């Protein structure tokens, strides 16, 4: 039958969420501190250990003592005959651990070790929490809203507390006590008061983890999320590609009757999500990214990484989106600068450009016709001779 001490230790371990052995270790260290206080203000350096029976709670103190012929201070010295009862081949001058439990050690421990034990348990609890979450940075975790403090949302995650700072909150979300949220664990800080867990509801990797949870094809790697563009609380675009033939990546993410994507939308409190097909061809990818708008053609400028997209007149507002949201997200998703024009606007610009070219050509031809070339001017001047020259020529002809 387990003792009351064992039951108490087990209860503390269950309440704190830490191993029972860790609590025993903390108590033993606290009792070492308590024993050292009984040695006086300036005790000689010596090793002390305390072993506690987890069943009965009985603690025994073991002190390192020097083996001597004659004992002057039994706190630090032990006779050879006594030492050889523990270690038969021990010699004078050696040190040995001897049980040195004081008679009233129970009372001393109760008086001096209480605060040390409590503090030690808190430290163990902090270390245990840190070790539990240190490998979960970047994971999706479930938390419960506890309270609000200076704009921060304090969340409960088992035995740990997490902070949702204002910059990591979605503006359109409303938080209330007891609300369960899925959050993205962005950072774990080890501080004196314990681990500080920072979580986010706006990080784009929250979308990635939600898709991994809802879509088995993404979790097992047959469908890959290539890129994500998000405006938290409003709209998100996700580009996906299949890693195996015969798999529809968009259909896998949407699910039958849209059930998979709807679960994600519900978790994000109604944030719209567009799932589009990724393509290695930039033209095709840009056209897909502008979904649900239809695209007529895409012209690329590789040097400036810019794309000019032509859409039907009736699709222009849909392609741009409310306040430019659709084209802005498409640009983030594809990493291309996108300019959208309607088919009519493009035709008008091409017609105006053609007319401008024709006008420029006509003006150039007219200018050339009105201005003689240098060669023609030289030919004309060569046929016109001075009158004196003509007179001398005629005189020579008559004399001949």
pLDDT tens-digit profile of 81-100? 888 888 888 888 888 888 87
- Cβ neighbours of 248 (radius 10 Å): 13
Q: Is the peptide bond before 130 cis (omega within 30 degrees of 0)?
A: no
For the ranges 101-110, 122-131, 185-194, 298-307, the lowest mean pLDDT is seen at 101-110
241 against 396, higher pLDDT = 241
Q: What is the mean pLDDT of the segment spanning 245-250? A: 92
| DSSP, residue by residue, 311-350 | E-GGGHHHHH-GGGHHHHHHHHHHT-EEEEEEHHHHHHHH
Q: What is the b/e burial string over 116-153, where b = at least 16 CB atoms within 10 angstroms of the residue's CB?
A: bbeebbeebbbebbbebbeeeeeebbebebeeeeeeeb
Reference 35, options 127, 104, 129; nearest CA is 104
Q: What is the pLDDT of residue 24?
A: 79
- Tokens read off for 60: 């025994």
pLDDT at 334: 95
Looking at the predicted structure, is the pLDDT value of residue 382 above 60?
no
> pLDDT digit string (tens) for 131-175?
777 778 899 999 999 999 888 999 988 778 889 999 999 998 889
**Residue 392 clears pLDDT 50, i.e. is over it:** no
Domains in the chain, CATH or no CATH each: 4-125 (3.30.1480.10), 136-200 (2.40.50.140), 203-278 (3.30.300.20), 281-365 (3.30.300.20)
Tell me the residue length of the chain: 400
Q: What is the rounded CA–CA span in Å between residue 239 and residue 356? A: 42
* Sign, CA torsion 131/135/138/143: negative
Predicted confidence at residue 67, as pLDDT, reads: 86
Enumerate residues 6+ apart whose C-beta is below 8 A from 340. 290, 309, 311, 316, 319, 320, 327
Structure tokens at 185: 């664990």
For residue 185, what are the β-bridge partners?
Answer: 199
Give the up-direction half-sphere exposure of residue 305: CA atoms within 13 A in the CB hemisphere.
6
> How much is the average pLDDT of 202-219?
95
What pLDDT is attached to residue 4?
58
Bigger pLDDT: 216 or 116? 216
Residue 224 has phi, psi (to 5 degrees) of -120, 135
- Report how far residue 267's alpha carbon sits from residue 57's, in angstroms, rounded to the nearest whole number: 50
List pLDDT tens digits, range 38-53.
666 655 556 888 887 7
pTM exceeds 0.75 for this model: no
Secondary structure of residue 197 in the 3-state scheme: strand
| 68-81 confidence digits (pLDDT tens) | 888 887 777 888 88
More confident residue, 301 or 389: 301
**Is 227 or 119 the better-scoring residue by pLDDT?**
227
Q: For the residues 376-392, what does the mean pLDDT come to? A: 46
**In the chain, at which residue ranges do the beta strands (DSSP E only) sit?**
48-52, 59-68, 77-79, 95-99, 140-149, 152-157, 160-164, 180-191, 194-200, 223-231, 235-242, 272-277, 297-301, 306-311, 337-342
Residue 368 has pLDDT above 70, yes or no: yes
Q: Are 62 and 50 in contact (CB under 8 A)?
A: yes
Residue 275's nearest CA partner among 298, 251, 293, 256 is 251
Q: Could you tell me which of 149, 113, 130 has the C-alpha nearest to residue 193?
A: 130
354: enclosing H helix or E strand: helix 343-370
Q: Which two tokens stand for residue 20?
A: 């029972």
């Amino acid at each position: 039958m387990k003792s009351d001490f064992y039951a108490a230790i087990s209860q503390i371990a269950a309440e704190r969420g830490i191993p029972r052995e860790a609590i025993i270790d903390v108590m033993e260290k606290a009792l070492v501190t308590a024993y050292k206080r009984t040695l006086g203000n300036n005790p000689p350096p010596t090793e002390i250990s305390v072993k506690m029976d987890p069943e009965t709670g009985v603690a025994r103190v073991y002190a390192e003592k020097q083996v001597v012929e004659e004992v002057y201070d039994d706190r630090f010295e032990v006779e050879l005959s006594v030492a050889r009862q523990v270690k038969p081949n021990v010699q004078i001058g050696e040190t040995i651990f001897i049980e040195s439990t004081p008679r009233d050690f129970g009372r001393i421990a109760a008086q001096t070790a209480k605060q040390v034990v409590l503090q030690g348990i808190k430290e163990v609890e902090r270390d245990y929490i840190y070790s539990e979450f240190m490998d979960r940075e970047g994971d999706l975790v479930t938390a419960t809203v506890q309270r609000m403090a200076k704009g921060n949302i304090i969340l409960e995650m088992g035995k740990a507390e997490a902070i949702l700072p204002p910059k990591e909150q979605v503006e359109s979300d409303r938080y209330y006590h007891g609300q369960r949220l899925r959050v993205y664990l962005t950072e774990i800080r080890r501080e004196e008061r314990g681990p500080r867990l920072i979580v986010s509801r706006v990080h784009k990797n929250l979308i990635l983890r939600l898709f991994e949870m809802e879509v088995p094809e993404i979790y097992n790697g047959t469908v890959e999320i290539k890129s994500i563009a998000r405006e938290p609380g409003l709209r998100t675009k996700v580009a996906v590609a299949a890693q195996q033939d015969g798999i529809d990546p968009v259909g896998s993410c949407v699910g039958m009757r849209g059930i998979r994507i709807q679960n994600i939308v519900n978790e994000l409190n109604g944030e719209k999500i567009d799932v589009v097909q990724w393509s290695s061809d930039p033209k095709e990818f840009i056209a897909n990214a502008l979904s649900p708008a239809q695209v007529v053609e895409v012209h690329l400028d590789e040097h400036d990484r810019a794309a000019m997209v032509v859409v039907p007149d009736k699709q222009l507002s849909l392609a741009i989106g409310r306040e430019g949201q659709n084209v802005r997200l498409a640009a983030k998703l594809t990493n291309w600068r996108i300019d959208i024009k309607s088919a009519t606007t493009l035709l008008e610009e091409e017609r105006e450009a053609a007319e401008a070219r024709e006008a420029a050509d006509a003006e150039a031809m007219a200018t050339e016709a009105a201005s003689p070339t240098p060669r023609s001017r030289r030919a004309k001047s060569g046929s016109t001779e001075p009158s004196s020259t003509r007179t001398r020529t005629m005189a020579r002809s008559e004399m001949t």
